[in-house]
Amino acid sequence: MNKHTPASNVQPVSRFPVPKLKDMPPDVRARIEAVQERSGFIPNVFLVLAHRPDEFRAFMAYHDTLMDKADGLSKAEREMIVVATSAANQCQYCVVAHGAILRIRAKNPLVADQIAINYRKADITPRQRTMLDFAMKVALEAETVGDEDFKVLKKQGFSEEEIWDIGAIAAFFALSNRMANLTAMRPNDEFYKLGR
Amino acid sequence: MNKHTPASNVQPVSRFPVPKLKDMPPDVRARIEAVQERSGFIPNVFLVLAHRPDEFRAFMAYHDTLMDKADGLSKAEREMIVVATSAANQCQYCVVAHGAILRIRAKNPLVADQIAINYRKADITPRQRTMLDFAMKVALEAETVGDEDFKVLKKQGFSEEEIWDIGAIAAFFALSNRMANLTAMRPNDEFYKLGR
Amino acid sequence: MNKHTPASNVQPVSRFPVPKLKDMPPDVRARIEAVQERSGFIPNVFLVLAHRPDEFRAFMAYHDTLMDKADGLSKAEREMIVVATSAANQCQYCVVAHGAILRIRAKNPLVADQIAINYRKADITPRQRTMLDFAMKVALEAETVGDEDFKVLKKQGFSEEEIWDIGAIAAFFALSNRMANLTAMRPNDEFYKLGR
Amino acid sequence: MNKHTPASNVQPVSRFPVPKLKDMPPDVRARIEAVQERSGFIPNVFLVLAHRPDEFRAFMAYHDTLMDKADGLSKAEREMIVVATSAANQCQYCVVAHGAILRIRAKNPLVADQIAINYRKADITPRQRTMLDFAMKVALEAETVGDEDFKVLKKQGFSEEEIWDIGAIAAFFALSNRMANLTAMRPNDEFYKLGR
Amino acid sequence: MNKHTPASNVQPVSRFPVPKLKDMPPDVRARIEAVQERSGFIPNVFLVLAHRPDEFRAFMAYHDTLMDKADGLSKAEREMIVVATSAANQCQYCVVAHGAILRIRAKNPLVADQIAINYRKADITPRQRTMLDFAMKVALEAETVGDEDFKVLKKQGFSEEEIWDIGAIAAFFALSNRMANLTAMRPNDEFYKLGR
Amino acid sequence: MNKHTPASNVQPVSRFPVPKLKDMPPDVRARIEAVQERSGFIPNVFLVLAHRPDEFRAFMAYHDTLMDKADGLSKAEREMIVVATSAANQCQYCVVAHGAILRIRAKNPLVADQIAINYRKADITPRQRTMLDFAMKVALEAETVGDEDFKVLKKQGFSEEEIWDIGAIAAFFALSNRMANLTAMRPNDEFYKLGR
């Protein structure tokens, strides 16, 4: 809870009911407790989506396969895609939470805000700029993706598998951003300061 | 393959490699063979996404929990949401494939095309119109979803859980449409005629 | 009438009064009866526009001079332009009715739906793709048409007269789509299945 | 020709060939000579469209039945619709030529420029404001026209036939504006000063 | 006041209070009386902004340093930027008032209306077209301005200082247009005819 | 300079020449040294705009009269308007720098990021939400501002003078954001952490 604002103005965690840990299915609860132990707090996305355990499981499985992959794009680059496209979708939870992760992964306290506000002016490489141009295209007008885009990406050294990753991360957060805006998912206060 | 067009113009099934059944992990293959047996053909979405088995599994789990639910919105209504939002995203695969399913589920050969082109003029109930207005908002400008929208939906008799379903289906197909446009996923010829 | 839907949900043929054949001026009536004999039914556009005989005559004269021309673009290509631009304008009548004509003219049951949903991924030639890119520009942002566009079209072998035709068909259906959306013109049930 | 600019910068009358009076079909030529006698000059739209006599005839017939009607909307109001929607479509010919006609018909030297730039702030009645709101909707997003719009118009006293007229004029100039932008139709210098 | 319209339809000079000359601070009043002497009337922008003397002073200082500069862009070119971007922002006051100034500065009675409606088809040089393309980019999507834009401008011979001027004028009128639309600033009747 | 990124990726302070303190006119230099003493560093906006001393003076005078006013809107509320509209314009400098000021003025470490990403979900009062809705309208579509907007604001208790302030701040930052994007103005590293 935000201590800096009159309680009446503080937005709740979700528009929908938020289950208690003790009422969750054991696997969902176990997953959440593991995160809590690692991070010191429970990111609200886990609580909000636990309202629907089956969706929770599919969401987390999808997220992990795209974001925890060892080869190809770096973990910081994956988070750059999340931050850029989530900002375009005005998703408060994803920009704040993944902005924090990006700061940590990139060991750079500035780049998350730079990308969120205008990725074209961030302290990134030309290759990363090309990556984000494509991610934004998938996020905002995927219907126009064509062979030309693939040529531009390959000229920057991206493999076919990396291109799939860029597009798939943008596509997954198209879902994620909409769920966060549907549920009015509140970013935890803890995220704002992490990695600064 | 489209027999009606010079082979050189026929678009392929995917921009990315499409695995053979025999090379797929057993669970993925089993799932696909079950669909094939039921439908008489393999919808291309299964072949295209099988290129990435982990994403395949998460995608199908997410899809099934949203689309195969017994209570609340009818199955035809769920497909209406898919068709309306996928048309807005210009997703060829999803409109053609789910248009076919909608015709079958609604036992109505006209409604899928009507909704795909302009859902505001389809032969649907005012309640379904309200449902699609909200689904389109989640698909196209989820950042503006607010309390007013929930009031309008509740006035039409939608419960909180049904509202989550409407939004979650629109959100899931935001992902699905982008994957289809990223991969240039080709709708199977069989879908075009089903349920007409 | 759509037999598959409760009568209360079925949209009427027009928001405006629809005249009876016997009350129409003889030339309008003759034209309509000729179509009826040839097609087996009266396409609703004739009934809806007959409410205003002078506009009916000008509309049909304009339509015929653009769509029935023998040389230059093929008849199927002219219908492709209609379907692509009418889909962009969300015109139910034009997409359904001209989609049927396109299927017949192109002897191809798939191409109309492909073009309506996302013409960039249809089974068409690169030359036809260029034609539709230009038609969409005229339909959606004609104010930006410039010399560059003409160069691109000429490189694909289009003559000046063919370029006029592409633009003029897109322009005429800008009118037609708006009249159909103004009157809520209902596509006849018969069109949905033709040519599949 | 604009005498105030180096000849090299002056845009031509049309991107397409412009026929000579003596080479036109007699009825087209007669129509043009009648206009010339009445106005003292030949508005370029006649010369540009005469390149295609059949389209010329249909265009003029359509134009006249909508714009020369005696009852319902006043002639000035019809021109207001043309100027507002043509400005939204950035059609130089239509705004300049019909702006002149509007100044003359309304006996008001200011209202054409006011409407072209921002019709919401023009010196018009609330009823005319409602008329233009609807015309702009037909021009820019006709797919969303619905029963609510008709209610608003009727509350301002518009009959069904007048609503058709508003929509049909907006629809016809959707065609006209696109033909002018396709052909780069140049407004005659004479129009700029008329009625000021 | 517009004598051609029933008084009840004539829009006022401002939505906010308009001070009398005698109530203004002496420096503001002196500046306004100087304009009045030179022009024969007081342009409404002076009266409307004098409601806030400090903003008035800053606004006029900013305006003069950008618009009265002797070297680089010509004064007519500076006014072209104002007219093109103000039309895109639908600012009645700026298009009418600066359109008049442009006609006078360019000694060309046509070019202001041409640029206001569709600058791409105005009687201007290719260099001026490039200048306006950039000004429109700053006005409408400044977040995408990048190195490529500077290259295009330099190829047309623009210096760095001239590029700053183009951008700064577009930026200043982004402010000016919004103040005019906020206050519903009415263009003086006198402007419409000047320089024709 | 960002120490966390390879020097080659770090964006410069401005696309244009940045003058040295010793080369600035005395008044400009004095103003900057006063800020430096107060803040401990020189915000880049001062250095970037000092390239043009006259514009610098007008800009700062305009800024101060709008942002340092004692009555009406609180200073935190003025900064909220800056952050919300600058985020909509993707202005990196303004969001980062004024975000810091907002955190300090509001004594709230969260509200700046919340407003920048999606002001509709920030921890603010309904009155502040109405204020930001109007500021965004002025920033993004000022041409549609009308009497209805004033009624909504007055119902929330805003006076005419406060409405002018809201609109004028949004208008001034429409200029400021465009100058920052034109010059690629880099936010100082110091701002990112202030007030967290």
Nearest by CB: F5 against A96, A108, A181: A108
Collect all residues of chain B within an 8 Å Cβ-Cβ radius of residue F120. Answer: 143-144, 146
Classify residue B195 as left (phi > 0), alpha (psi -120 to 50) or beta: left
| CB-CB contact of C173 with C87 (8 Å) | no
Q: Which contacts qualify for F137-141: CB closer than 8 Å, 24 or more apart? A: F138/E178, F138/E181, F138/E182, F138/F85, F138/F166, F138/F167, F138/F170, F138/F171, F138/F174, F139/E178, F139/F85, F139/F88, F139/F89, F139/F170, F139/F173, F139/F174, F140/F88
Residue F40 is encoded by which pair of tokens?
């401990």
Q: Which contacts qualify for A156-164: CB closer than 8 Å, 24 or more apart? A: A156/A126, A156/A127, A156/A130, A156/A131, A157/A127, A158/A127, A158/A130, A158/A131, A159/A72, A160/B16, A160/B17, A161/A72, A162/A72, A162/A73, A163/A134, A164/B16, A164/B51, A164/B52, A164/B182, A164/B183
How far is A63 from A75, CA to CA, in rounded Å?
13
pLDDT at res. C5: 66
How far is B135 from B140, CA to CA, in rounded Å?
9
Nearest by CB: A192 against F9, F95, F113: F113
Q: How do residues F72-107 score in pLDDT, each as one tens digit?
A: 999 999 999 999 999 999 999 999 999 999 999 999
Cα nearest neighbour of F93 on chain E: E143
How far is F93 from A110, CA to CA, in rounded Å?
12
Coil, helix or strand at residue B130: helix
pLDDT at res. A1: 41
How far is A177 from E19, CA to CA, in rounded Å?
50
* pLDDT above 70: residue A191: yes
Coil, helix or strand at residue E193: coil
- Assess whether chains A and F touch, using the rule of 3 or more C-beta pairs within 8 angstroms: yes
| CB-CB contact of B93 with B186 (8 Å) | yes
Average pLDDT over residues B26-47: 97
Neighbours of B140 (CB within 10 A): 14
B152 phi and psi angles, rounded to 5 deg: -60, -45
How far is E169 from E156, CA to CA, in rounded Å?
19
How far is C72 from F161, CA to CA, in rounded Å?
64
Burial per residue of F79-105, b for 16 or more beta-carbon CB atoms within 10 angstroms, e otherwise: bbbbbbbbbbbbbbbbbbbbbbbbbbb
Average pLDDT over residues E145-162: 98
Collect all residues of chain C within an 8 Å Cβ-Cβ radius of residue A146. Answer: 120
| CB-CB contact of F83 with F99 (8 Å) | yes
Q: Which residue has the tokens 């006076």?
A: F159
What is the greatest pairwise CA distance in chain E?
A: 53
Collect all residues of chain B within an 8 Å Cβ-Cβ radius of residue F118. Answer: 143
Collect all residues of chain F within an 8 Å Cβ-Cβ radius of residue B143. Answer: 118, 120
pLDDT at res. C1: 41
* pLDDT above 90: residue F6: no
pLDDT at res. E5: 66
Q: How do residues E31-68 score in pLDDT, each as one tens digit?
A: 999 999 999 999 999 999 999 999 999 999 999 999 99
Nearest by CB: F11 against A9, A117, A121: A121
How far is B67 from B65, CA to CA, in rounded Å?
6
Residue B147 is encoded by which pair of tokens?
């309390």
Amino acid at B142: A
B11 phi and psi angles, rounded to 5 deg: -70, 145
| CB-CB contact of F164 with F66 (8 Å) | no
Q: Which residue has the tokens 């103004």?
A: C182
How far is A188 from D152, CA to CA, in rounded Å?
46
Quote the minimal CA–CA distance from C94 to chain D in Å.
Answer: 12
In this structure, is the dihedral angle defined by the CA atoms of residues C14, C15, C20 and C25, taken in order, positive or negative?
negative
Q: Between the CA atoms of F115, F116, F119 and F124, what dihedral angle is there, to the nearest 10 degrees?
A: 0
Coil, helix or strand at residue C56: helix
> Which positions in chain F have a beta carbon within 8 angstroms of at least one beta carbon in chain D?
143-144, 146
Q: How do residues D118-143 score in pLDDT, each as one tens digit?
A: 999 999 999 999 999 999 999 999 99
Residue B50: DSSP 8-state? T
Give the pLDDT band of residue F9 (cuts 50, 70, 90): confident
Q: How do residues B128-151 score in pLDDT, each as one tens digit?
A: 999 999 999 999 999 999 999 999
How far is B120 from C91, CA to CA, in rounded Å?
11
**Residue whose C-alpha is closest to residue B180's, from B96, B112, B79, B115:** B96
Whole-number percent of chain C with pLDDT over 90: 95
Nearest by CB: B192 against C4, C113, C125: C113
Q: What is the DSSP string of D125-170?
A: -HHHHHHHHHHHHHHHHGGG--HHHHHHHHHTT--HHHHHHHHHHH
Give the pLDDT band of residue E1 (cuts 50, 70, 90): very low
Average pLDDT over residues D64-79: 96
Amino acid at B145: V
What's the distance, CA F58 to chain centroid?
16
What's the whole-number average pLDDT of chain F?
A: 96
pLDDT at res. B138: 98
Burial per residue of A165-190, b for 16 or more beta-carbon CB atoms within 10 angstroms, e otherwise: bbbbbbbbbbbbbbbbbbbbbbbbbe
> Which positions in chain E have a beta carbon within 8 angstroms of at least one beta carbon in chain A?
143-144, 146
Quote the minimal CA–CA distance from B83 to chain F in Å.
Answer: 28
Amino acid at D12: P
**Residue whose C-alpha is closest to residue E101's, from E79, E69, E70:** E79
How far is E115 from A70, CA to CA, in rounded Å?
55
Neighbours of E46 (CB within 10 A): 20
Q: Indicate the angle between helix axes B147-155 and B126-141, nearest 10 degrees.
A: 160
Q: How do residues E118-146 score in pLDDT, each as one tens digit?
A: 999 999 999 999 999 999 999 999 999 99
**Residue whose C-alpha is closest to residue C101's, from F143, D6, C93, A142:** C93
> Which positions in chain D have a beta carbon within 8 angstroms of at least one beta carbon in chain F?
118, 120
How far is A15 from F21, CA to CA, in rounded Å?
53
Average pLDDT over residues C86-114: 98
User: HSE of E196 in the Cβ direction (CA atoms, 13 Å)?
Assistant: 17
Collect all residues of chain D within an 8 Å Cβ-Cβ radius of residue B120. Answer: 143-144, 146
pLDDT at res. D50: 98
Give ∠ CA A160-A166-A172 in degrees, rounded to 5.
Answer: 130
* pLDDT above 80: residue E4: no
Quote the minimal CA–CA distance from E48 to chain F in Å.
Answer: 12
Backbone Cα Rg of chain F: 17
pLDDT at res. B5: 66
Collect all residues of chain C within an 8 Å Cβ-Cβ radius of residue E118. Answer: 143
Lowest model confidence (mean pLDDT) among C1-15, D178-192, E85-99: C1-15
Helices vs. strands in chain F: H and E counts, helices first: 9, 0
What's the N-to-C CA distance of chain D in angstroms? 20
What's the distance, CA B189 to chain centroid?
16
**Residue whose C-alpha is closest to residue B89's, from B177, B14, B172:** B177
D8 or A119, which is more confident?
A: A119
What's the distance, CA F38 to chain centroid?
18
Q: Indicate the angle between helix axes C92-106 and C160-183, nearest 10 degrees.
A: 140
**Residue whose C-alpha is closest to residue C147's, from D12, D46, D8, E158:** D12
What's the distance, CA B167 to chain centroid?
14
Q: Which residues contact E194 (CB under 8 A, 6 or more apart)?
A: E100, E101, E103, E104
**Residue whose C-alpha is closest to residue C173's, from C141, C143, C138, C146:** C138
Average pLDDT over residues C29-54: 97
How far is A48 from A97, CA to CA, in rounded Å?
14
Give the pLDDT band of residue D2 (cuts 50, 70, 90): very low
Amino acid at B32: I
Residue B187 is encoded by which pair of tokens?
């709708």
A10 phi and psi angles, rounded to 5 deg: -75, 125
Residues in chain D, total? 196
Burial class (CB in 10 A: 0-12, 13-18, 19+), A12: exposed
